[in-house]
Amino acid sequence: MREWWRDAVIYQIYPRSYQDTTGNGVGDLPGITQRLKHVADLGADGVWLSPIFTSPQKDMGYDVSDYTDIDPLFGTLDDFDAMIAEAHRLGLKVITDQVLSHTSDQHPWFKESRTSRDNPKADWYVWADPLPDGSPPTNWHSHFGGPAWEFDAQRGQYYLHNFLIQQPDLNFHNPDVIEAILETCKFWLDRGLDGFRLDTVNYYFHDQQLRSNPAAQAKPQVMATDLYGMQDNIYNKTRPENIAFLQKLRALCDQYDDIMMVGEVGEGGNKATRIMGEYTAGTDRLHMAYSFAMLGPDFTPDHLRSCVEGFRRGAPDGHPYWSFSNHDVFRHITRWEEHAVDEDTFARLTCAMLMSFDGTIGIYQGEELGLTETELLFEELTDPPALRFWPAVKGRDGCRTPMVWEKDAPNAGFSDAKPWLPVKAPQAAKAVDTHGEGSILAFYKDMIAFRKSTTALRNGASTFLNVPDPILAHTRATDDGQITCVFNMSTEDQSLAVKGDASLSGPHHAVLADGTLSLPGNGFAFLSHTSPITLTT
């Protein structure tokens, strides 16, 4: 039996920004439950919830202070159970964001760990003495600026934090830590959860010898918040011990029915492909993995083709998870706007393209409405990197603004109170209630339905065709048939000669007549055929 996640469309919900039911301006679990029908009607197979666990919210829930409870901001365990029950009633699976590499500094484990060097949890976090001159133990960088080490006067040692100072890293070399983490995961599986999205999955272990990283050999790309690119990060993450932990976590998941784990690999380029291959090899590690390969500025046929083909070469028995937007990057309609004829036409193109890929597909809330990045003033920001490095860094708030439900309602129907991030006019104008027949939302529904009803799009292997820029074309084939997916990634009209017996199928923005496929700017087509075809310019 084919697992549910292999050709699934998973809808990411950012809980703070989905639906507020308590009038505090922050989304909550009852709000998600109330709006799950929207996800089911879209045709998605499951939802991924960004963190909902108890947290001081220094990094919007990615700083967990209790792994086995719901943050009161979002509701209660009963609210969680009700949400799971409603999702399952609607035929939706639910996975949650598990932030296992680090905790909040307010977690009881860390509070105890920092009190002395000999308490029961003294070795649960990564502690190290200063160098003789008082400087940090290694040259490792934090993703949020500055060194990855913070001196703690109480212990007289530094602790490791790959992200905020308030997010100390757990010491996965301690078997007691692993046992405790596995118990927290078991807690949620016992409550009916269908799987995990594992945040920063290659950050669990560090080099026990505390060796400093060498300088990057390739030309570094330096950002205001992130000096990682100036180092070859071989000692602070992606350590070989990670594999054994993933095997333990997989063994736990395999005790339950049809559980899925998808890992976020914090790396880029060929290195990301190699890691994804290692982490998904065989049947005892991750079910699938993704990187930021398609979440960056590159929007060219060569780049997208290299992402898909590179994964297949580097992870031949792995399974990919593709998405164009999420809570950490600019929304793709804005990020790639220079390639767009207009926002709506481009939204249709990118939806069709994403749904054509082999693997699991991720949609970020609001993407189905064609939402663009929200432009925010400094005084409206909440994201730590943006607050620290503005204006060089815009931060992640612009993609996290609330979901828009009703165009003319206060805050577009998200909340009766002032929302935690503002709802602005360009986003409200694309609210769900403005989407009728022929809208972006209707197109997403049609495209997902077409993907589900077409065996080749669900199960077929991809073979890319050698056509010149700006065309991306690939064929998905099974024993039941073949479909060739053709996309014009430019704003200019393009045409291709089609040799062979083919016909237009499903949603399209193209004309096929007399052996010529005419694609307007941002046009696309799905060509059904039973024998091979060729495309030439």
Give the pairing of strands 260-264 and 288-290.
parallel
Strands (E), 143-236: 149-152, 157-160, 195-198
Residue 459: CB atoms within 10 Å: 16
Alpha-carbon distance of 525 to 496, in angstroms, equals 11
d(CA 258, CA 5): 9
Cβ atoms of 51 and 60 closer than 8 Å: yes
Q: Which two tokens stand for residue 290?
A: 């993704």
Q: Is 483 helix (H, G, I), strand (E, B) or coil?
A: strand
Q: Tokens representing 431? A: 């609210």
Would you call 267 a catalytic residue per the annotation? Answer: yes
Report yes or no: 182 and 76 within 8 Å, Cβ to Cβ.
Answer: no
User: Would you call the peptide bond into 175 cis, given omega within 30 degrees of 0 as the criterion?
Assistant: no
The number of beta carbons lying within 10 Å of the beta carbon of residue 254 is 11
Q: Cis link prior to 470 (omega < 30° from 0)?
A: yes
For residue 78, count CB atoms less than 10 angstroms from its CB and return exposed for 0-12, middle for 13-18, buried for 19 or more. exposed
Lookup: tokens for 11: 């809808």
Name which of 207, 204, 208 is nearest 244 in CA terms.
204
Say which of 45, 267, 358, 368 is annotated catalytic: 267
What's the CA gap between 188 and 495, in Å, rounded? 52
**Side-chain half-sphere of 509: how many Cα atoms within 13 Å?**
25
**Torsion angle defined by CA atoms of residues 358, 362, 366 and 368, in that order, rounded to the nearest 10 degrees:** 20
- Both structure tokens of 219: 């030309």
Nearest to 38 by CA among 367, 361, 260: 367
Distance of CA 487 to the CA centre of its chain: 24
Q: Which of 169, 199, 358, 367 is catalytic?
A: 199
Q: Give the residue among 292, 303, 283, 240 at the shortest CA–CA distance from 264.
A: 292
Collapsed DSSP state (helix, strand, coil) of residue 527:
strand
What's the token pair of residue 40? 């089911």
- Which are the catalytic amino acids? 199, 267
